[in-house]
Structure 1
Amino acid sequence: MSIAFTSWPPELAEHYRQKGYWTDVPMTDILTRHQQNPTDHLALICGERSWTYRQLEHDAERLAASLLQLGVQPGDTALVHLPNVAEFYITFFALMKLGVVPVNALFSHNQHELTVYAEQIRPTLAIVSSGHHLFRQSTFAQTLSEQVTSLKFCLVDGDADFGYSLAAAIAGTLMPCHAFSSQAKKAVSWPELNASDVAFFQLSGGSTGTPKLIPRTHNDYYYSVRASAEICRLDSDTVYLCALPAPHNYTLSSPGALGVFYAGGTVVLAAEPSPMTCFPLIQSHQITMAALVPSAVTLWLQAAADDRSALSSLQWLQVGGAHLGESLARRIYPKLGCHLQQVFGMAEGLVNYTRFEDSEWHVLHTQGRPISDDDEIRIVDENGDDVPRGTPGALLTRGPYTFRGYYNSPEHNRVAFDKDGFYRSGDVVVMTEDGYLMVVGRDKDQINRGGEKVAAEEVENQLLAVPEITQAALVAMPDSVMGEKSCAFIVTTNPKLKPLTIRKHLRMRGIADYKLPDRIEKVDALPMTHVGKIDKKALRQRIANLLKKQSQPQPEKDVLS
């Protein structure tokens, strides 16, 4: 059984095949293509553990076989919630080999997000980590299985008193501590994968109240991986540092770990992107390429000011996920000693890169140009009319790896796409005369908090669940490190309501910590536009003015003796 999704029109699908973008080869090929290599190159390093390409494929096969033995079937869906560990990739390839379609949640996600994802895909299987507070005990897993009755099996990475051991499943010695189901085990032959089918779900940053899922097919995603690897000149000598969350589209395929695996290079995992964690890894493993968001770049620049000797092997630093200012971009080569590649992409599809041969101006001022000649770009005004090059406008796109609709979201899709199937990205961009994009803002109601996208409506709905809050509006406020942080303006019936109490309430409702408002401002009333909507432009200006005033030195007061 394949996942139902909005596919490309037949004429476009045929065109993409004729152009060689779609090869009808499933993404399992990323690993299997290396299995005849006599050198058996190192594929993955995670702490003190490492995997060759043969070992990585072998572990993925054993996990897939264990899942078959357990009773998981091709066509099932899975909820995966793992940190930056090797088991994430083993799981990714095992599920793909088996024809099971996962959604890979971020490890920062909490019970709210995981429940929403599970309710959308109705998974048979959950693969989680006891390193997350939700799964140190069985309470949430049991609650989830009762709420989402399709969920029958749970594999746990780490020690737990529930579910099955993920380590045992990978080793081929599956030993249950507890099963959600007593289904009979039976062997199932490997399925023949159709590259036109959905391979997995990506996560949308979104701007609405419910997190949306993006169906990615083998054909469209594998093209993006292959093309990215070529543009970024990856080969078997590439040693790539994955320090941002592994499920992110950026670190998964732009070119990310999948691009490195495709090229036969080596991926080194880091738990998080701080210099304290990453600099020793770069020195120890002679890392040649890393990917960061601008807020992490700032920390790296500060740390390298004292000593950059650990970075001598680093040749390229990709920066994406949020806007990179020119002044910060200019400091990267002099301070870190590596070249900059700007990346502007989205989980929905379109990815842009500056190229290695680009001029300094393009690298410092633009966010690159699209992967494909068949990435169709429209930049339009508020009336939907195309604007001249050099003029800011809303970015619309369609192409061989840009999806055609969010999963099970027909009403939202009517707004997210125009009549010709162009996706409204929510970005405000300028296109240069030579086809490069410069990102100048967002027209969606979303905060880009250091690369993590926060949907305002989702948080506002959670704030309005606090009994004393009668109105709420979440807006972006400028931040020198993160680029943007969030500020919640609230109207409350309790003038003594404290921000700490509000954040505690939100945590109890299970939203991820990065979505918690960074600042909370009480107001008597929210400003409204002439059509009766909350005037968020006025609120953004209000908090920006307040921050500017607070940053200015205050005049000293005269002291009378």
Structure 2
Amino acid sequence: MAQLLEFTVGGLLDHIAARYPDNDALVYVDRGLRYSYRQFNEVCRKVAKGLLRLGVKKGDHVAIWAYNVPEWVVLQFATAKIGAVLVTVNTNYKSAELEYILNQSDSSTLFLVKSFKDTDYVATVNEVVPELAGSEAGALSSAKLPFLRNVVFIGSETPAGMLNFEAIAAMGEHVSDDELAAVEGTLDRHDVINMQYTSGTTGFPKGVMLTHSNIVNNGFNIGECMKFTEKDRLCIPVPFFHCFGCVLAVMACVTHGTTMVPVEIFDPLAVLRTIEKERCTAVHGVPTMFIAELEHPDFPKFDLTSLRTGIMAGSNCPIEVMKKVISQMHASEITIAYGQTESSPVITQTRTDDAIELRVATVGRALPDVEVKIVDIETGAELPPGKQGELCTRGYLVMKGYYKMPEETARAIDADGWLHTGDLAVMDENGYCKITGRIKNMIIRGGENVYPREIEEFLYTHPKISDVQIYGVPDRKYGEQVMAAVILKKGEIMTEEDVRNFCRGKIANYKIPKYVKFVDSYPMTASGKIQKFKLREMAIKELGLEGPGETA
């Protein structure tokens, strides 16, 4: 077994900045922003000191609600340098989801941008925290969110009651290097440093606690699978709030001195322009992103010959898309990765020299220092190659647990330290895995995990709805779409649009049911369990849906 890296996240950046001080660390094409590793580390140190001055302590929870702005990456390392836990908030979230996460995570500080797509973040925060606008910046007292003290705005024209990001950086001038070093000296690589929320079968999102060691080592091994060096340049159009952005991209780069070239909000043209302009050697994306890039009318105008590798993940990769990425985008060493937030996140990945068949038909083999086994769903016994069962993993990559949810943690990680993924898989004799389905009813829509129970719990709050079942149906573009089968209370009338309107502004758009069917009853097993697979089969027939079927 290889030696695991023993750095904290902040210590890693110090090490890489000393090793490759003049190498480009972070480049934003549209902003004309370019930090060398030395400069990037200095900015992160300054913001870390500013956070200390603000009163943020080791172990405090700092939430960030923003798309891929430069401040996001700075905060990932600045919080780590003082041992504060970065809580990543999905950019698609609306008011109910934001309130739940700020409350459940005990976040003391929230960083946010002005808006994203159709959501006004400032208005949403003021809706959730009505006391904010009238409070003194940095001295917030909220009835609903007792832990929240500071709201920090990223951008110009700071709204009432908020501090500004630039002010935090300026506050760092009043904190000495010795004070920062004293805090850094107390950190341990097994401390929790990152918390990401993943929805669950309980219907409520769970805060996955990841440590320095989890994400440093996972990032390093992901980079190794792509053969990253300090000469590589990665175009990052995937969101930072997701492990795809902050680990498969940011940590994979920083562990190797590789250059990060983010795209703030995904746009196929911006990705193509960025790759050409910065001569990127790698690009990440979910299959729908690669499809959008390949099908863009201006695609032939761009010189993408600098590309070599990258990662396609998030849902099943169609073989034709993979072939085009290799032949037309020149990413001949593109890889496939599989995992989940609870495993930091990558469990298996293909290698750059794997045959295309393996890169399309499988999700690769275990990363170094990672154990993978397939077990019988009923007995838990380990299965031989070629037999379908639940994929389990063990090693440095397994999360510390779910925040304040010990019972859920015990359900996910067994007494021997194996994380049970809930995914059905088959492993061949060479260790290559194929994901064949899911034990749980999770829907994967365009790379976003959608958990039916969470939407069901929300729709149960509608006064006209008696019962609701949420399930996935095939979709050519997104892999799967969300469908609702609704039983109304006696004498009530609703339309499909009424159901969707009730969701708008309250839950993320990608969770809103595309299809709604009103029914009188559900297909049941003899023991009274609802058969969602039958609802799905009926919907496919009735709606004439053709698609890729189950996505992994």
TM-score (normalizing by structure 1):
0.87
Q: What is the alpha-carbon distance in structure 2 between the residues aligned to residue 104 and residue 385 of structure 1?
A: 36
- 1:259, distance to aligned residue in structure 2 (A): 1.4
Q: How does 1:279-290 map to 2 (within 5 A)?
A: 279-290=272-283
Q: How does 1:367-446 map to 2 (within 5 A)?
A: 367-446=363-442
Residue deviations 1:18-67 (CA, integer Å, cap 9, x gap): x62252x2111232113334751111122222222122112211212222
- 1:478, distance to aligned residue in structure 2 (A): 0.4
Q: What is the alpha-carbon distance in structure 1 between the residues aligned to residue 299 and residue 104 of structure 2?
A: 49
Instruction: Select which of 135, 142, 149 maps to 2:122.
Output: 135
Instruction: Select which of 474, 490, 506 maps to 2:503.
Output: 506
Q: What is the alpha-carbon distance in structure 2 between the residues aligned to residue 52 and residue 460 of structure 1?
A: 48
Aligned to 2:166: 167
Instruction: Select which of 24, 40, 43 maps to 1:42.
Output: 24
Q: What is the alpha-carbon distance in structure 2 between the residues aligned to residue 466 and residue 409 of structure 1?
A: 27
Aligned to 2:244: 250
Matched-pair contact (CA < 8 Å) for 2:335–2:349:
yes
Matched-pair contact (CA < 8 Å) for 2:226–2:310:
no
Matched-pair contact (CA < 8 Å) for 1:205–1:452:
no
- 1:143, distance to aligned residue in structure 2 (A): 5.7
Aligned to 2:71: 87
- Which secondary structure state, in structure 1, belongs to the residue aligned with residue 480 of structure 2? strand
Query: Is 1:28 matched with 2:10?
Result: yes
Q: What is the alpha-carbon distance in structure 2 between the residues aligned to residue 337 and residue 215 of structure 1?
A: 37
- 1:165, distance to aligned residue in structure 2 (A): 0.3
- Which secondary structure state, in structure 1, belongs to the residue aligned with residue 502 of structure 2? helix
- 1:502, distance to aligned residue in structure 2 (A): 1.6
Residue deviations 1:106-137 (CA, integer Å, cap 9, x gap): 21122222222222221221111122413147
Structure 1: gaps (5+ residues):
1-15, 175-186, 552-561
- 1:306, distance to aligned residue in structure 2 (A): 5.5
Instruction: Select which of 229, 239, 242 maps to 2:223.
Output: 229
Q: How does 1:56-75 map to 2 (within 5 A)?
A: 56-75=40-59
- The one-letter amino acid of 1:21's match is L
Identify if the C-alpha distance between structure 1 residues 166 and 538 changes in structure 2 by more than 3 Å, giving closer, same or farther: same
Matched-pair contact (CA < 8 Å) for 1:154–1:163:
yes
Aligned to 1:362: 358
Q: What is the alpha-carbon distance in structure 2 between the residues aligned to residue 283 and residue 480 of structure 1?
A: 29
Query: Is 1:320 matched with 2:319?
Result: no
Q: What is the alpha-carbon distance in structure 2 between the residues aligned to residue 313 and residue 367 of structure 1?
A: 25
Moved more, 379-388 or 230-239: 379-388
Identify if the C-alpha distance between structure 1 residues 45 and 22 changes in structure 2 by more than 3 Å, giving closer, same or farther: closer
Q: What is the alpha-carbon distance in structure 2 between the residues aligned to residue 206 and residue 327 of structure 1?
A: 33
Matched-pair contact (CA < 8 Å) for 1:379–1:386:
yes
- The one-letter amino acid of 2:480's match is E
Identity among equivalent pairs (%): 25
- The one-letter amino acid of 2:23's match is H
Moved more, 116-125 or 142-151: 142-151
Aligned to 1:453: 449
Q: How does 1:329-368 map to 2 (within 5 A)?
A: 329-339=322-332, 340-349=334-343, 350-368=346-364
Aligned residue pairs: how many? 520
Q: What is the alpha-carbon distance in structure 1 between the residues aligned to residue 299 and residue 227 of structure 2?
A: 31
TM-score (normalizing by structure 2):
0.88
Instruction: Select which of 129, 146, 152 maps to 1:155.
Output: 152
- The one-letter amino acid of 2:4's match is Y
Q: What is the alpha-carbon distance in structure 1 between the residues aligned to residue 441 and residue 13 of structure 2?
A: 39
Matched-pair contact (CA < 8 Å) for 1:304–1:336:
no
Q: What is the alpha-carbon distance in structure 2 between the residues aligned to residue 82 and residue 59 of structure 1?
A: 19
Matched-pair contact (CA < 8 Å) for 2:200–2:453:
no
Aligned to 2:201: 207
- The one-letter amino acid of 1:302's match is E
Aligned to 2:253: 260
Q: What is the alpha-carbon distance in structure 2 between the residues aligned to residue 141 and residue 317 of structure 1?
A: 41
- Which secondary structure state, in structure 1, belongs to the residue aligned with residue 72 of structure 2? helix
Identify if the C-alpha distance between structure 1 residues 110 and 67 changes in structure 2 by more than 3 Å, giving closer, same or farther: same
Q: What is the alpha-carbon distance in structure 1 between the residues aligned to residue 16 and residue 546 of structure 2?
A: 58
- Which secondary structure state, in structure 2, belongs to the residue aligned with residue 311 of structure 1? coil
Instruction: Select which of 191, 195, 212 maps to 2:189.
Output: 195
CA RMSD of aligned residues (A): 2.4
Identify if the C-alpha distance between structure 1 residues 308 and 343 changes in structure 2 by more than 3 Å, giving closer, same or farther: farther
Q: What is the alpha-carbon distance in structure 2 between the residues aligned to residue 470 and residue 287 of structure 1?
A: 53
- The one-letter amino acid of 1:109's match is Y
- 1:198, distance to aligned residue in structure 2 (A): 0.9
Aligned to 2:136: none
- 1:541, distance to aligned residue in structure 2 (A): 0.8
Identify if the C-alpha distance between structure 1 residues 267 and 304 changes in structure 2 by more than 3 Å, giving closer, same or farther: farther
Q: What is the alpha-carbon distance in structure 2 between the residues aligned to residue 369 and residue 393 of structure 1?
A: 16
Aligned to 1:519: 515
Moved more, 259-268 or 385-394: 385-394
- Which secondary structure state, in structure 1, belongs to the residue aligned with residue 143 of structure 2? helix
Residue deviations 1:202-232 (CA, integer Å, cap 9, x gap): 3325333110111111122211122222222
- 1:449, distance to aligned residue in structure 2 (A): 0.7
Q: What is the alpha-carbon distance in structure 2 between the residues aligned to residue 527 and residue 487 of structure 1?
A: 16
Q: What is the alpha-carbon distance in structure 2 between the residues aligned to residue 396 and residue 447 of structure 1?
A: 20
Structure 2: gaps (5+ residues):
133-141, 174-178, 548-552
- The one-letter amino acid of 2:264's match is A
- The one-letter amino acid of 1:368's match is G
Instruction: Select which of 249, 253, 277 maps to 2:270.
Output: 277
Runs of 4+ in 1 over 6 A off after TM superposition: none
